[in-house]
Amino acid sequence: MSERGGNFLKNLLEVKAPFFIFNPKSYLYGQPLEELALEADQMAEKMGVQVFVTAPYADIERLAHKTSHIIVTAQHLDGLEPGRGMGAVLGESIYQAGARATFLNHAEHPLTLTQLVKSIQKTKELGMLSIVCADSVEEARAIATLRPDILLCEETAQIGTGQVSDTSYVHSTIEAIHAIDPEIAVMEAAGIRSAEDVRRVIALGADGTGCTSGITQAEDPASVLRSMIRALKN
C-alpha torsion 23→50→153→165, nearest 10: -80
Instruction: Report the alpha-carbon distance of residue 174 to residue 186 in Å, rounded.
Output: 6
Instruction: Report the alpha-carbon distance of residue 20 to residue 232 in Å, rounded.
Output: 8
The catalytic site residues sit at 106, 154
Instruction: Report the alpha-carbon distance of residue 176 to residue 71 in Å, rounded.
Output: 27
Q: What is the DSSP string of 199-218?
A: HHHHHTT-SEEEESHHHHTS
Q: How many whole angstroms from its chain centre is CA 31?
A: 21
The neighbour count for residue 166, using CB atoms within 10 Å, is 12
- What is the three-class DSSP state of 220? coil
